Chain A
Amino acid sequence: MSRLGAQTLAFDVPVAITAQTSIVGPKEGKGPLRAWFDVILEDDLLGQKSWELAESEMVCRAVERTLDAAGLAPERTQAMLSGDLNGQIIASSFAARALGIPFLGLYGACSTFVQALILGAALVSGGYLDNAVCVSSSHYCTAERQFRFPVEMGNQRPPQASWTTTACGCALLARSGGAGEPRIASGTIGRVIDLEIKDANHMGAAMAPAVCACIAAHFEDTGRSAADYDLIATGDLGWIGRNILMELFHRADVQMPDEKLVDCGASIFFQEQDSHAGGSGCGCVASVSCGWLIKRIRSGELKRVLVAGSGAMLSPVSCQQGQSIPGISYAVCIEGGAV
């Protein structure tokens, strides 16, 4: 294992993604990516008493399905790296209580899944773990009551508001994978960047500078450019945030062909689905990565993808106290095909 430049970890011992699962809610299951998701829930309460427990159950099901697919028993799973948007990440920790897997709780807002992939890959590549399950989730109803309004409140959303996805993505990392399996090659840890955006509805604008800086740092550290990747997927900037990011790339002299940049939040919903700026939440980049991206790498359609998750590090308290929204981004390079 070695370090590249200022912010990037390069995993010399390849870390394979041996199995993955994506679970999404009913609204996401009507979006453009519906064919790629493993499970589309019919009911977002999953037979539970509360939405928080429903989100936890979704995490449990995603992990169990992933381990099943890999033929790995929960007792032999060495670590679960997981996070969500709930206060004190209860969806993750309650799922970890049920699963009994050694647990590392993470928080990176909507970027949590990529944060988990980088840390999991480092622990596996470094020989500290043989395997690690990386998962993150979000639920529209748990996020809405915490960050915005009760769901029955008769409010309008501005066009820049995003729609928290009900979704969960889970990936199992292991040191030895099959020959053609997707593997995590490197990861870049971003800095928290804040350009004083205070509109909590405009998370795409709050996060775009952090994503720009993280991708630019990744390119600088690895000596690569957008041309070296088949696809660059950003996490949850939405349609508007993606356009702002393109403009930031332009100003920072980072070459980024328009067709190579996709945004998970802008891809998960049709614009007619009344999701305004697009999807957000920890589950968005997780489910889109596990459903759409990793599957296409596994099939050989994509050879090398950079997934740059982005997080808006706000809390209801910081918002009410009038603080601006710090953005964070983590980028992970996933490769397929022969080593």
Chain B
Amino acid sequence: MSQLLIYVKAFAVGGLICTIGQILMQTTKLTSARILVLFVVSGVVLTGLGIYKPLVDFAGAGATVPLCGFGYSLAMGAIEAVNRYGLLGALAGGVTRNAAGISAAILFGLLNALIFKPHAKP
């Protein structure tokens, strides 16, 4: 039962975060690029204020998979690295913690662009 509850929480919180994005897009004419930037920066700021971590503890992937989760991970990386290395950690931490994701996006983006061709959908 508790296993199922974890998935329900991930679904509900993840869905709600995406719905906030949808409401923003429908009411403000923000393009997807701006939405993505907005969500990452909000994730960073909310984590810095100590608000986002409880949400991650509650909803798991429901809070880490949306792009504000990337912001959470960037901010946590910076904070953890400051604890270990001091001020320089603020520069190193964010990228270090997310290096795998960023590198994966670059690698898979590149490979797909080399393999596939874009098509117009009639």
Contact = CB atoms under 8 A, between A and B. Distances in A.
Interface string B96-113: 000000000000000000
Contacts of B118: 141, 150-152
B119 A151 contact: yes
B122 A153 contact: no
A300 interface: no
Nearest to B119: A151
A258 B32 CA distance: 38
A151 B120 contact: yes
Contacts of A158: 29
A27 interface: yes
Contact of B29 (A30, A151, A199): A199
A321 interface: no
B32 A153 contact: yes
Is chain B's binding surface mostly helix, strand, loop or mixed?
Answer: loop
Nearest to B29: A199
B53 to A, nearest CB: 29
B69 to A, nearest CB: 19
Interface in A235-280: none
Nearest to B116: A152
A30 B122 CA distance: 9
B122 A27 contact: yes
B8 interface: no
Interface string A23-46: 001110010000000000000100
Contacts of B29: 158, 199, 201
Contacts of B122: 25-27, 30
Interface of A is mostly: loop
Interface in B12-68: 25, 29, 31-32
B107 to A, nearest CB: 18
A276 to B, nearest CB: 14
Nearest to B25: A156
A121 to B, nearest CB: 34
Contacts of A156: 25
B109 to A, nearest CB: 11
Contacts of B121: 151
B32 A141 contact: no
B120 A141 contact: yes
Nearest to A44: B120
Contacts of A153: 32
Q: Which of B25, B119, B122 has the most CB of A within 10 A?
A: B122
Contacts of A140: 120
A127 B23 CA distance: 60
Nearest to B122: A27
A150 B33 CA distance: 12
Interface of B: 25, 29, 31-32, 118-122
Given A25-B122, A44-B120, A149-B32, 4 more contacts: A151-B118, A151-B121, A155-B32, A158-B29
16 contacts: A25-B122, A26-B122, A27-B120, A27-B122, A44-B120, A140-B120, A144-B120, A149-B32, A150-B118, A151-B118, A151-B119, A151-B121, A153-B32, A156-B25, A158-B29, A199-B29
